[in-house]
Amino acid sequence: MPVRLSFDRVAAIYDETRALSPKVLSHVLGILVDQLLGKSVLEVGVGTGRYAVPLQKSGLDVVGVDISHKMVETGLGKGLKNVVLADGARLPFTPRAFDMATTTHMLHLVPDWREVLLEIVRVTRNSYFSILERSSRTTNLHREYDRLAAEAGYKWFPPGLHERELPAILPPDLVMPVGPFEEVVPADHLLEELDERSFSSQWGTPEAIHRQVMRELRHRWAGHEFTHAWTLEVTFWRVARLAELANRPVQK
């Protein structure tokens, strides 16, 4: 079995570092409830239930799957229901058990992302969807961290493929934009998240390189503010086409 990146280590801070603002989340949930009402939904990589919990509380039939015990425990504390501890590439469900399935910010973490998609094809009747971010940040401290770490000798490669890259492989059947949105973010807040190694791309960074990169980032950006403008896209593929997506070659 390919090595999985476990998010147990960041379960306590995951929501804090990935949360959408209430305004943005409300817009996304409005679209999801409208599209998913009356359908059975599977979320592979449900984590803490960032989307599943509010959807379940809205009356939707959502089942979650995840491999991280601590992420699921955090979700259960928030009211997450109907969750199964399992591998996304080996789903414990009968064929065509769900109307729709989703992953969000998950496929880049698994080397066998194609197997995850093929399992979704097996257990889903209608559609697969994901929530993609299209950002226009002029400065992205996370990417700058990765660049400086690479220059210092450590380069991280995601084991899988990010969902935002899927439309370039296979055009989706439906894209529903949400936004645009804009917010001002203090650099000190972002620097603190990076210093705590909140993101999977940082977990393998040698400590000496991590400290060197953080010193440089703080020197450049402490006390600054960034304007972050972005649009979210709720993107759908008919599940009959998903096997085609999983089997197409990917150029990186």
- The answer to whether position 170 is within a domain reads yes
Please give the model's pTM, rounded to 2 decimal places. Answer: 0.89
- The answer to whether position 58 is within a domain reads yes
**Identity at 113, one-letter amino acid code:** W
C-alpha span between 128 and 123 (Å, rounded)? 11
- The answer to whether position 190 is within a domain reads no
Whether the CB-CB separation of 55 and 46 falls below 8 Å is answered with no
- The answer to whether position 237 is within a domain reads yes
Looking up residue 24, the CATH number of its domain turns out to be 3.40.50.150
- The answer to whether position 100 is within a domain reads yes
Summarize pLDDT for 149-192 with one digit per residue, the tens.
Answer: 999 999 999 889 999 999 999 999 999 999 888 888 899 999 99
Whether the CB-CB separation of 139 and 148 falls below 8 Å is answered with no
* Tokens representing residue 174 in the block: 């439906």
- The answer to whether position 223 is within a domain reads no
Whether the CB-CB separation of 142 and 251 falls below 8 Å is answered with no
CA-based nearest residue to 106, from 165, 180, 172, 40 = 165
- Could you tell me how many helices (H) and strands (E) the chain has, helices first? 10, 7
Whether the CB-CB separation of 41 and 130 falls below 8 Å is answered with no
Question: Domains in the chain: how many in total?
Answer: 1
Domain that holds residue 14: 8-137+158-180+229-247
C-alpha span between 211 and 195 (Å, rounded)? 8
- The answer to whether position 23 is within a domain reads yes
Summarize pLDDT for 42-84 with one digit per residue, the tens.
Answer: 999 999 999 999 999 999 999 999 999 998 999 999 999 999 9
Query: How crowded is residue 37: how many other Cβ atoms within 10 Å of its Cβ?
Result: 12
- The answer to whether position 201 is within a domain reads no
Whether the CB-CB separation of 87 and 94 falls below 8 Å is answered with no
Order of strands, edge to edge, in the sheet holding 174-186?
A: 83-85, 61-66, 40-44, 98-102, 124-135, 225-238, 174-186
- Residue 173, Ramachandran bin (φ over 0: left; ψ between -120 and 50: alpha; else beta): alpha
| Residue 3 confidence class, pLDDT cut points 50, 70, 90 | low
CA-based nearest residue to 247, from 166, 140, 136 = 166
